[in-house]
Chains A and B, each alone.
Chain A
Amino acid sequence: MSGAAIPVALRVPRESRGGAIAYFARRNPRMIIGGALVLMWIFLALFAPFVAPYDPRQVNVSDSLLAPNWTHLLGTDDLGRDVLSRVIWGSRISLSVGVISVSVGFVFGVSLGLAAGYLGGAFDLLAMRVIDALLAFPALVLAIAITSALGPQIQNAMIAIGIVAIPAYARLTRGQVLAVRAREFIVAARTIGCSPLRIVVWHIFPNVINALVVQATLATAFAILAEAALSFLGLGPQPPDPSWGQDINYSQRYLPNLKWWMSVGPGIAIFSAVFAFNFLGDALRDALDPRLRRSA
């Protein structure tokens, strides 16, 4: 080492916190908009009993089919139930299906991908053929088939959407594992006698987590959309529980009478929730994983 002195800045003047946030927001408007919308839906789902103005199951025939007004901001349905309250309570079902099914897909898909990528050989070959077989079905068709076989219940919708989500995680994880497994730090870990499980969990997994976070956000958007589609087909939660897809299906019979508000509330809710997760996922992809960045 040479003895030349290295100029060291002892203290770099820091920007104020407000300035830093403003800078971040200017650079990442999608993350701010997407994140704010996601937080809004999480808040509404968590505090639905306090935020919703009425009981979503409360039938009140004298108030049936009211157009949006100051007492019922999104109007009422044919049984006099408040559409806004049903939309707010419906977010609980949509978000919980989103979170649980994405977790199911995450746990199984990531474990399969880590094992296939690290172990290689016959296990990898077999695991990837199973993934290919899952990918051979159009995603929603597979979810419909699983839910219709297991029975139309919200738990089954979660399982179905979770299974459909597995291939994306497994493929992504396996690809990332193959990319890092030959790197020096993995060889070093193996040399000092780390067990395969320790290497996979402590050394490989942290390196693939960024890509997985992006995938999980985008998969939540798909899960919300898929749950709405399953509910629309009568394969999700059953009446009188509020559910966005089911409420839109129910509203169809009032279209000829131009009772548009029954469909618009849940429709906008699905759109905004899916849009929020897609927007946030896109922004996270750019921020966390430049390799995955698309040219668009």
Chain B
Amino acid sequence: MIRYILRRLLLMIPVAFLVTIGVFVLVRLSPADPVLAFSGEERDPAVLAAMREEFGLNQPLPVQYVAWVSHLLQGDLGRSFQTKQRVLEAIVERLPATAELGAAALLISVTVALIVGIASAIKRNSFVDLAATSVTLAGISFPSFFLAIVLILLFAYVIPGHLFPPGGYTPATQDLGDNLRRLVLPAVTLATGSLAVNLRQVRSSLLDVFGHDYMRTARAKGLRERTVIARHALKNALIPVVTLIGIQIGAIIEGAFITETIFFWPGIGRLAVTAIPSGDYPVVQGVVLVSAFSFMITTLLVDLLYAWLDPRISYDTAAA
């Protein structure tokens, strides 16, 4: 196992290197001049040249890259052009809001997918199954921002009582009730896309397990149906679901960009989206980099968890 972990970590190094090159190139592709963006109203060529020198922008690109990566390794993602705040600081400030939204969405998605997925696999071709499969297909194709608008329209304006506010955020430490009330609509929006994929996976891997001999044996030895499903089927069927939940973390990060924007949720997605029109590249670059690295680390953790959960997987094959 340790050899496998080491090998996976080693494989991550070239990928991480390429990711940093990608992000660096992306920012340099941008037609906007970062010095002009940073200097605001200042247009004196001598001042601008001094700033260019200070930021190292007059150096050759490879030198700039090495300087950027060495800052990166010290946790320095640069400063926002607009607010002059340190990018890492801005991201860390907003991370709890994104984490809260992501965790709530994942909880809703996994719980509903398990309950409905199990019901639809057990009662295959029933009304529940048909409804679940149709909802799955619709869920994959439904744009999250449109769903958000439908939810806001219904629950914040049309249905009497205005059950949930159309947006905004209250820290849980300040007012837990209001925090949760404001969390419901964005969490449901964010959960729906991944719910469709999770539900499909729970259903199909359960159906796959149902066909195995050990299920027939479990029934033949007189176990109750509930025990057969909980102890024999679910245990095996949930292994692929674990992997999928890991992949969903990526969907949740990208979904956060849109959901946070619509619901005025002060997370890292909204931070990046509000930085785009003003050309605040260090912020966009920082958020993209943090998203990519969190996605990479989650994928690695899920792979390790997968290998640990299923003893049939040999680490050599899993690494191949």
Chain A residues with CB under 8 Å of chain B are 129-130, 132-134, 136-142, 144-146, 148-152, 221, 225, 228-229, 232-235, 245, 248-249, 251-252, 255-256, 258, 260, 263, 266-267, 270-271, 274-275, 278-279, 294-296
With A133-B19, A295-B208 as given contacts, are A234 and B149 in contact (CB-CB < 8 Å)?
no
- What is the CA–CA distance of A129 and B142 in the complex, to the nearest angstrom? 33
Besides A149-B29, A271-B138, 18 more A-B contacts (Cβ < 8 Å) are: A132-B15, A136-B15, A140-B255, A140-B257, A140-B258, A144-B257, A144-B272, A150-B29, A235-B276, A245-B145, A255-B157, A256-B157, A263-B149, A267-B143, A267-B146, A271-B143, A294-B204, A296-B133
**A130: which of B18, B200, B205, B292 is its contact (CB, 8 Å)?**
B18
- Chain B residues positioned under 8 Å from A270 (CB to CB): 143, 146
Q: How far is the CA of A17 from the CA of B293 in the complex (A)?
A: 57
Residue pair B292, A136 in contact (C-beta under 8 Å): yes
- How far, in Å, is B94 (CB) from chain A's closest CB? 15
Query: B78-95 interface mask toward A, CB cutoff 8 Å, 1 = contact, 0 = none?
Result: 000000000000000000
Top 8 nearest A-B pairs by Cβ distance? A133-B18, A267-B146, A140-B254, A275-B141, A296-B204, A138-B250, A138-B254, A274-B141
Interface centre among B208, B258, B293 (most CB of A within 10 A): B258
Kindly state the separation between the CA atoms of A234 and B284 in the bound complex, as whole angstroms: 15
Stretch at the interface among B20-28, B60-68, B171-179: B20-28
B98 touches A (CB below 8 Å): no
- Pairwise interchain contact B150-A267, C-beta atoms closer than 8 A: yes
Instruction: Please report the C-alpha to C-alpha distance between residue A199 and residue B145 in the assembled complex, in whole angstroms.
Output: 46
CA distance A49 to B248 in the complex (A): 41
Q: Bound complex: CA of A271 vs CA of B138, how far in Å?
A: 8
Chain B residues in the interface with A (C-beta under 8 A): 14-16, 18-19, 22-23, 26-27, 29-31, 133, 137-138, 140-146, 149-150, 152-153, 156-158, 166, 200, 203-205, 207-208, 250-251, 253-255, 257-258, 261-262, 272-273, 276-277, 281, 284-285, 288, 291-293, 295-296
- Cα distance, A215 to B288, chains bound together (Å): 26
> Which residues on B sit within 8 Å (CB–CB) of A132?
15, 18
B residues within 8 A CB of A278?
137, 140-141
A148-B261 in contact (CB<8A)? no
Closest B-chain residue to A244, C-beta based? B143
* Chain B residues near A251 (CB-CB < 8 A): 149
**Are A145 and B23 in contact, CB atoms less than 8 angstroms apart?**
yes
Chain A to chain B contacts (Cβ below 8 Å), 20 pairs? A130-B18, A136-B296, A137-B19, A139-B250, A141-B291, A144-B257, A148-B284, A150-B31, A228-B143, A228-B145, A229-B145, A233-B273, A249-B145, A252-B262, A258-B158, A263-B149, A274-B140, A295-B208, A296-B133, A296-B207
Closest B residue, CB atoms, query A258: B157
| Chain B residues, CB < 8 A from A140 | 254-255, 257-258
Q: How far is the CB of B29 from chain A (nearest CB, A)?
A: 5
Whole-angstrom CA separation of A252 from B272 in the bound complex: 20
Looking across the interface, which residue of chain A has its beta carbon closest to that of B201?
A: A296
Residues of B within 8 A of A144 (CB): 257, 272-273, 276, 288
If A144-B257, A145-B284 touch, whether A296 touches B145 (CB-CB below 8 Å) is no
In the complex, which residues of chain B have a beta carbon less than 8 angstroms from the beta carbon of A275?
A: 137-138, 141
Could you tell me the distance between the alpha carbons of A141 and B203 in the complex, rounded to whole angstroms? 29
Chain B residues contacting A260 (CB-CB under 8 Å) are 153
Q: Give Cα A278–Cα B295 distance, bound, in whole angstroms.
A: 25
Query: Which chain B positions have C-beta within 8 A of A266?
Result: 146
Option from A134, A229, A232, A296 in Cβ contact (under 8 Å) with B203: A296
Q: A255-B166, A258-B158 are in contact. Are A234 and B19 (CB under 8 A)?
A: no
Give the Cβ gap from A124 to chain B, nearest Cβ, in Å.
Answer: 14
Given known contacts A133-B15, A294-B204, A295-B207, A141 and B253 CB-to-CB distance under 8 angstroms: yes
- What residues of B have a CB within 8 angstroms of the CB of A263 in the complex? 146, 149-150, 153
